[in-house]
Amino acid sequence: MNNKPKYHLFKNTKYALSGLKHALKTENSFRLELFCAIFIIAGILVIDASLTYKLILLVTGILVLIVELVNSAIENVVDLVTKEFAPLAKTAKDIGSTAVMFTIILHLVCWILILWEVYA
């Protein structure tokens, strides 16, 4: 039996907004990164860089939020499976956190290289 419901644009949008609402309520890291995004967007608007560079900064900034949401989903699934300590559960959560860390590093490297190119 297929557990996958039919695709409906409005229902799927409702599910997505429900997930966003839940993340905003429960995920401190996501809220912090979303708060930082305000300053990142302001910085993108202020710097004297090409549109291509600005898009790179915007996309890598949004990527941080996306990966954080995926990490939160992984953590929720792991918590659903077991509340007790399990090495594989810890590894899954740690790898998700590593993905977030790498994405943040990528974003920071893009900022450094673009600022170096524009203002050096």
| Catalytic annotation, residues | 68
Whole-number Å distance between alpha carbons of 33 and 64: 8
**Percent of residues in the chain assigned helix, strand, coil, to nearest 5:** 85, 0, 15
Residue type, 28: N
Reduced to 3 states (helix: H, G, I; strand: E, B; else coil), residue 110 is: helix
Q: Which two tokens stand for residue 80?
A: 């659903």
Q: Is 50 left (phi over 0), alpha (psi -120 to 50) or beta?
A: beta
What is the DSSP-derived secondary structure letter of residue 92?
Answer: H
